[in-house]
Amino acid sequence: MPYFDAASSAPLHPVARQALQAALDEGWADPARLYREGRRARLLLDAAREAAAEAVGCRPDELVFTPSGTRALHAGISGALAGRRRVGDRLVVSAVEHSAVLHSAAAWEAAGHPVTEVGVGRAGAVAAGDFAGALAPDTALACLQSANHETGTEQPVAEVAEACRAAGVPLLVDAAQSLAWGPVPEGWSLLAASAHKWGGPPGVGLLAVRKGVRFAPQGPADERESGRAPGFENVPAVVAAAASLRAVRAEAAAEGARLRALVDRIRTRVPELVPDVEVVGDPVRRLPHIVTFSCLYVDGETLLHELDRSGFSVSSGSSCTSSTLTPSHVLRAMGVLSEGNVRVSLPPGTAEADVDRFLEVLPGVVASVRERLGAPAGGGPVSAGAPAEAEKEPALVVDALGKRCPIPVIELAKVIGEVPVGGTVTVLSDDEAARLDIPAWCGMRGQEYAGERAAERGTAYTVRRLV
């Protein structure tokens, strides 16, 4: 069964498995002890730190291992903010950061501190100038991911790092998605990553803090990992994480080129094979293994279940998943279609034949889900004899209250042909996804989104027919 969700967690790399098994026999003792078993564990831990630091591009004494990438981010943010409290307390983040960063930002703001969120363009990248403009004199820390976990879009880290350097603000980079493919551009002050993203074992993160960065670890003091990651080190897992990072880096150039070609095929073929699809993310400045697209008139959760039944493991940032009824914060920030969202992230070693079979299966799966939901064929009927202009702009109201995506958009598509050109359709909806999906539908179907207003219940979204 093809596994296409490496961006969530990559399969354990063979080198990681071998290193883990060996380290379980040699690295089980306390590395802080001076007897031979402890010394042996300490040698393994030190070697792993040196290997990871080389891959990151920092000194070994600047890097600590944490219980997860999320913990690395939380510790990095809280420590940097505390260390810079005499300078200011403003935190600057991009709107598409991983939820671990945004949760830290929300907690910081709830405690009464200012947080500035920098928006992104439709491709999902911040503009370096916008980020630089957000760096106020009271800024204590800025956070920017190296590449997005949902779309693969790469961020202008080098340009933002230069702006942060000029402003005297440390930059924390979340490199979880990109570290397997190469080092982050120079200029960062703190960096966090997670081993299970590159084929290491879960439960291992890393945090690098450059010398000279003011940093005050939060929480009770601990003598391990420079006081930045308290608790007993999982030496076997750390050894496996470092070994697998070195291994994937050695394979990155060749495997990245191969996966990029497969992803390019998906990006090109999906809109040709499936009508009413929007491929999101930057087509050029992106990681080699991730592609994300959204399908009109499709329930994302059902689509993922049907692909799973067909033998493909993929993920979604859609609003219509069992875990949430709100759109992905990444898709919302980008202003793109959220319904029927599919993220394909190919692990190393993905066979070309599996991608070809995915492209064969996908059109039938999408068509069956659309048929089950009663979606209109071809995007909705348009009356052939409609006048060029309507004298009084006749209006139609669709009550989609209580109905979840993609039903409000399906109902809109069904009735748009019933009003003449210039006429309007107003959709009443209490589903947050409609705020993204109705304007996105207008852009894809050549209609005009005329805006929204508060209704007695929910929101009224008005669409003017142009074609």
User: How confident is the model over 266-290, as pLDDT tens digits?
Assistant: 999 999 999 999 999 999 999 999 9
Q: How confident is the model at residue 100 (pLDDT cuts 50, 70, 90)?
A: very high
For residue 275, the 8-state DSSP code is S
pTM: 0.91
Cα–Cα separations (whole angstroms), residue 124 to 49, 129, 155, 190, 259? 33, 15, 8, 22, 21
Residue 226's pLDDT is what? 77
Q: Does 399 have pLDDT greater than 50?
A: yes
What value, to the nearest 5°, has the Cα angle with vertex 179 and ends 176 and 180? 110
What confidence tier does 389 reach under pLDDT thresholds 50, 70, 90?
very low
Point out the least confidently predicted range of 25-39, 146-160, 383-397: 383-397
Q: Where are the beta strands (DSSP E) in 184-237?
A: 190-194, 205-209
The pLDDT value given to residue 326: 67
What totals of helices (H) and strands (E) does the chain contain, helices first? 12, 14
Spatial contact of 135 and 167, defined as CB atoms under 8 Å apart = yes
Please return the burial class of 385, using the count of CB atoms within 10 Å of its CB with bins 0-12, 13-18 and 19+.
exposed
Model confidence at 390, pLDDT cuts 50, 70, 90, reads: very low
Q: What b/e string do you get for 75-102 counting C-beta neighbours within 10 Å, with b at 16 or more?
A: bbbbbbbbbbeebbbbbbbbbbbbebbb
Q: Mark whether 320 is an active-site residue.
A: yes
Active-site option among 143, 164, 295, 320: 320
